[in-house]
Amino acid sequence: MEIKWLEDFVSLANTRSFSRSAVERRVTQSAFSRRIQQLEQWLGVPLVDRSTYPTTLTAEGRRFRETAEEVLRLILLERAELRSGRAQGQGILTFSTLHSLSISFFPWWLKDVEAGFGPINARLITENFHDSIRMFAEGDCDFLLTYEHPRVPVLLDPERFPSLDLGGDRVMPVSAPDDTGAPLFPLPGGTDKPVPYLAYAPETFLGRLVSVLLAERGEALNLAKIYENPMAEAIKTMAITGRGMAWLPANTIRAEIEAGKLVVVDPEAVIDMRIRIYRNMDKVRARVERLWTYLKDHTDAAPTA
């Protein structure tokens, strides 16, 4: 039996839809269905009544749902306590963040902080937008470092999870240049010749943010998605090699813009966003308190809460 089977089953019990749960769990519907069947085979009883719509649980399924939820709760709680204990013993500060920020922002931000605060023994956990927030909220990390935009909110209680604004970044629509230095893939594309588009996976922050723009201007831009990846660095490489246009954080492409390897294709399609750090008030270790006090005293923007 695997933990992911329990997570799949609890998701299905909540959504009552194989297709919606497959999207939520980021697997194909056929793979999701197989995992539910594997759980049923392991238990030896049917958990789902497949003759009804929406999906309903059998009597055994309703009973097992309570067990599955409690098992998952205990496992996650124990993991958080073990990780917290290990971090406390080693004086480690744990940060949950997005992949792109771990490469383009965190190293330089940490260096600046250490210049005034002193050495920090840091452990960085990189996840997608949803999972980075979940891990932080469940107590696995001391701090959350993430992008922020009004259209892609971070839904955390500001009393329990206060935050500080660390500055801004911009998502730039870029492509490789042609021989004249002009964009190889200018926007908008033609109706008979759409622009090849390098997209983020939909569960990422940048994927959600760009989808807001595309919902407003997508048809007018005439894009044809030819590639999808959750990693900004992977998308950047594809853009540099001339495979299509992409929206990339300015912090990740500053060197490529200066070197002429990438050019902005449409200044009106630039998206401004902020970078914020959140603190978990349940973490009361002295080292956490010291860093948070330092950040509040040395950050220009006023904190929330």
E strand spans, 62-110: 93-98
Rounded to 10 deg, the angle between the 286-297 and 106-117 helix axes is 100
Q: Give residue 148's domain range.
A: 84-168+274-297
Do 121 and 56 lie in one domain? The reply is: no
**pLDDT tens column, 136-176:** 998 888 999 999 999 998 989 999 999 999 999 999 999 99
Name which of 14-23, 122-131, 167-176, 218-227 the model is least confident about: 218-227
Q: What percent of the chain has pLDDT over 90?
A: 60
- Examine the pLDDT at 90 and tell me if it is beyond 80: no
266 and 173 Cβ atoms separated by less than 8 Å: yes
Query: How many Å apart are CA 22 and CA 149, to the nearest integer?
Result: 27
- Rounded to an integer, what distance in angstroms lies between the CA atom of residue 73 and that of residue 77? 6
Same domain for 97 and 151? yes
C-beta separation of 178 from 285 below 8 A: no
pLDDT of 48 reads: 92
Q: What is the pTM of this model?
A: 0.68
Helix axes 29-43, 3-15, angle to 10 degrees: 110
Q: Residue 86 — φ and ψ, nearest 5°?
A: -65, -45
What is the band of 301 on the pLDDT scale with cuts at 50, 70, 90?
very low
Residue 305 pLDDT? 45
User: Is 219 found in the same domain as 92?
Assistant: no
When pLDDT is cut at 50, 70 and 90, the band that residue 84 belongs to is low
Q: Are residues 56 and 201 in the same domain?
A: no
Average pLDDT, the chain: 88
- Which of 45, 77, 109 finishes a domain? 77
The reply to whether 142 and 219 lie within a common domain is no
Q: pLDDT tens-digit profile of 98-123?
A: 999 999 899 999 999 999 999 999 99
